[in-house]
Each structure stands twice: as C-alpha cells, then as structure tokens.
Structure 1
Amino acid sequence: MTDVPGTLRAAAIKALSTADLSEKARLTTATAEFWFARKLGLSAPTDPPSPSRPGRPLKPDLVPPRDVPRRSVHTLEGRIAMIHALAHIELNAIDLALDIVARFCGQPVPRSFFDGWMTVAMEEAKHFGLLSARLVDLGSFYGALPAHDGLWQAVEVTSHDLPSRLAIVPLVLEARGLDVTPSLLAKLKEVGDPQTGAILEIIYNDEKKHVAIGAKWFRFLCARHRIDPARRFQEIVRECFRGEVKPPFNDRARAEAGLTPTFYRSLSPLSS
C-alpha cells in the first residue's frame, strides 16, 4: 500500500507541501516512479490547490542575500558555506519542478511534458541528498547556516503563465548554473576536494538536461502560437526577472541544451 495520492497533481502537491525534507525527497521520487509506471492519473476535481509556499523546516533561517555567509572554497568553513548554499538551491529546485507540474496540470500540453518535469524533480531530489550527505561528512548539516529566499520569488512572479515560468526558471536560473559550475570545479580540484567535485559533476550534467527540457517546451509553446522564441524570451525576462542576465556565459553548454546566444546575449548589461 502506498501513500502516493492517485493523481500526479495531488501527489506533487503533497510532496511540495511536506516540511520534512527526507520525506519530501522520498515522496518526490515515489511520485515520479508511479507516474512513469502510468499508475497515476493526471489530475482530478478533488485535488487540493497548489500551496503558495513549499513546506519547509524551521531551519535554515531565511535572510537577505547580503547576509548569507561568504563561500570561498579555500577554507573548510567556506566550502561548507558553498555546499550549504548549493543544497538550498537544489531544495528549491525540487519544489520548483513540483510546482510547475501541479500548477500547470490544466495546460494543453502532451503527457511527455510532465515526464520531463518529474524527471527534473527526481534528479533535484538526488542532488539535494548528495549535497546534504556531503555536509554531514564535513561536520555540518543542511539548516546549520542561513539562506535566502530569492529562488521562490521566481514562482510568485511567474505563477500566471507557463511560458514565463519556463523562461525564468530553467532558461535563466538553471542556465546560470551551467555558467558558474566549470570554474567552481576547477577551484575544488585546486584545493583537493574531489568528493565535492564529483557531486558537482553529476549536478552539472543533469542541469544541462534540465535546461534542455525547459528550452524544448518553451520553443514548443512559442511555435504553437507562431511566436519567435528568442524575442519572446527577451520580453519575458525584461518583464519578470529582477536580476541581470550577466556573463560569463558557457555558450557551448547552453547551446547543447538548445539555448543559443540569440536568446540571451542582448540581455547582458555588457552587450552594448
């Protein structure tokens, strides 16, 4: 007997709402497995509404970004702070993937759309587990340091529109990970931390797939309405994204994921 509800939407909402993080990861993985085995319907009128915020434990404390600890990899404390920040990103990424499934179940998209986002959710849960275990190896734990809430703001700004969600979450926020991870891997090799480096290699390769899933469905929705995807992407970013789309860009990894420079170069503050 399973505790996974009978529809994908209800199961995603249950995992999204769960404050126990081990249980959140377990429910996410179980929901994906049931969905891929085609043991879940898509949605039902009795499904609960999507929560405005995900379930969270009491820790970590959420603070402004300027108050998050510095993350130099050259000291143990700095590496712990860096891994903690990455674990917080991956936790948010679980909930971002669950939210896109739950919130947009009523959209006229193929079932393979939900295959893609449940794959993302399951892999983000794996990433969170790897990083949390690494923190324990180093004498810490997730929740020991403060974190910020900037990623969930992307949900609030794009809750009204699926193309906007796709543009901001995978094609801006996740794509940024493709830009910064290679230099971080080089620094970890330099300081002799292959264990953390191996985890980041897994995350980097998976994130390329996640950006590709976002790019595929963003292009699909634009093609349906005969809209130029690069131009529409730029319009959405200018409207919905509070930060900057700034270099350096990992053009090769982005292009492999279907995100060519025509999408983002003109948005850079250095493009002029």
Structure 2
Amino acid sequence: MQTLGEAARAVLLTADPHDKRRAARGLARAWRRGQLEHRCDTPMPDQPAWPAEPELLAPNRMPKRGKGGSERGRIALLHALAHIEFVAIDLAVDLVGRFGGEFPRAFVDDWIGVAADEAMHFALLDRRLRQLGSHYGALPAHAELWEAAEATADDALARLAIVPMVLEARGLDVTPATVERFQAAGDEASAKILSRIYKDEIRHVSVGTLWFRQKCDEMGFNAVETWHALVKSRFRGSLKPPFNDSARHDAGLTQEFYAVIAS
C-alpha cells in the first residue's frame, strides 16, 4: 500500500497546475477510501515543482494592479489570487506529508480537506480568468509565498502558526473589501467565487488554530505566548491592521493572539 508521505510527495512534484489540482483531489479521495497508509517517512522536496509560467518576481518588481475597477485590473487581481490558491495546494499537501505522522488521523482528514479546497479554488479562479480572456500563467506572480514553508520546514507548530494563522488569516481581513470592489464593477461572477473562497478560508484558519492549540496543550505550552514567539521568530513580515475581528473570532483566532503584537 502506498503511504501518505509518498502520495503527498507525488503531488508536490507535479508541475502542471491542472495536473497538480487533479492530483491533490486524487490524494484526498485515496485517503478517504483508506487506500493510503498513515505513514509520513518520505522526505518532502524543499521546493515543489511549478510550471515555467507564471514568471515569478520579487514583490517590489510586481506591476501595479490598481483597484480592480477596470477589466484589466480585475484580471490582474484574479490572477494574483489564483497564484495564491495554486501555492496553497502545495502548502497544505506539504503540511500533511511533512508533519502528518506527528498527529492523529483527524489532523490528516482536516488538512487533506484543505488541500482539496485549495485545488477547487484554483480551478474556479482559472476558469473565471479564461472566461475573461486570460488564464493562469498569463501574468507574473510574486515569489515569496513559499518562503513561509521554507522558514517552518522543521517545526509543525511553527508551520501552523504562520501559514493558517497569519497568511490565511490575512485573507479574511482583505477579501470582503475585494468582493465589494468586484460588485461595484458589476462583476458578480467573480464576487461570488471570492465569497465562496472566503467562507472556506474561515474554516481553514479554524482548523489551523484548533490543531495549534491542541499541539500546544499536548506539549504543555501556553498557546498565545507560543504563537507570539513563533510569529516574531519565523515570520518576516508584520501583522498590520485593520483586522476582520468577526471572521477571525469565528475561526477561533481571538484578539489575544494578534492584537498585542500587531504593528
């Protein structure tokens, strides 16, 4: 029987975006059907396989997108979001393959589900780009998303602290305003996609926060103090308001975590 680690590594080493999307959903099906052994002793790659396009640039070299009012601006914003969702597939799969053996099956259930969600989100955004005459890879994307995985490759707690509880939580802060911009431009199709993604991301942050708290309890750590220490030592950016306190609270990420160390 193939192991969970072997299957996760295969997804990470799939470069074509649509093949990766299908592979992630296939991983989820195989796990649900009991076709994978819960063993994660296969090394995960330092860097996933990605396609030649989009061209990856440093954030300060990225073209300005504007506010999304024009069709060109909306395409650029949708492309940026598609890239985030594409990399998020690898972030979720790497979390499972790298750390899944340290946790019970329920952890794998949750994060395999997140990976499948991210694959679906990517498919929705790429399809919308094609409806607008573009596609994923047509524009450059920034190259820093995987840095969070590299900075936390040695520590499951650090990975949970940074990826769902910082990066995905930031999506909760900015997505409602993005939805409103698409609605103001009359692009209800894109707004509906982002609204669907937003609801799923609340659950993803919730899953991250839940397992972070559980791991801290297991190790006898104070969850809030541990999160503060990990964010300060493992996250290169800063936590900037405004925060979507309501959505964060729904996800279990209460103000005691982020309010104290926000810049």
Q: TM-score range by the shorter chain?
A: over 0.9
1:30 matched to 2:52? The reply is: no
| Alignment TM-score, normalising by the size of structure 1 | 0.94
Matches for 1:149-228 after TM superposition, within 5 Å = 149-228=143-222
Among residues 242, 245, 254, which one is paired with 1:248 in the alignment? 242
State the identity as a percent: 47
| Alignment TM-score, normalising by the size of structure 2 | 0.97
Match of 1:7 in 2: 3
1:77 matched to 2:90? The reply is: no
C-alpha distance in 1 between matches for 2:100 and 2:85 = 23
Q: Which moved more, 1:32-41 or 1:156-165?
A: 32-41
1:266 matched to 2:260? The reply is: yes
Among residues 49, 52, 56, which one is paired with 1:62 in the alignment? 56
Match of 2:108 in 1: 114
Q: How far is the alpha carbon of 1:44 from its aligned partner?
A: 6.6
Q: Which runs of 5+ in 1 are unaligned?
A: none
Q: Which runs of at least 4 in structure 1 moved beyond 6 Å after TM superposition?
A: none
Asked whether the 8 Å contact 2:157–2:215 carries over to 1, the reply is: yes
1:139-181 per-residue CA deviation (whole Å, 9 max, x = no partner) reads: 1111111111111000110001000000000000000000001
Asked whether the 8 Å contact 2:4–2:40 carries over to 1, the reply is: no
Among residues 137, 142, 154, which one is paired with 1:143 in the alignment? 137
Secondary structure of 1:217's counterpart equals helix
Among residues 75, 91, 95, which one is paired with 1:96 in the alignment? 91
Asked whether the 8 Å contact 2:173–2:244 carries over to 1, the reply is: yes
C-alpha distance in 2 between matches for 1:124 and 1:225 = 30
Asked whether the 8 Å contact 1:70–1:78 carries over to 2, the reply is: no
Cα RMSD of the aligned pairs, angstroms, is 1.1
- Which residue identity is paired with 1:113? F
Q: How far is the alpha carbon of 1:43 from its aligned partner?
A: 2.2
- Which residue identity is paired with 1:206? D
The number of equivalent residue pairs is 262
Asked whether the 8 Å contact 2:161–2:230 carries over to 1, the reply is: yes
Secondary structure of 1:104's counterpart equals helix
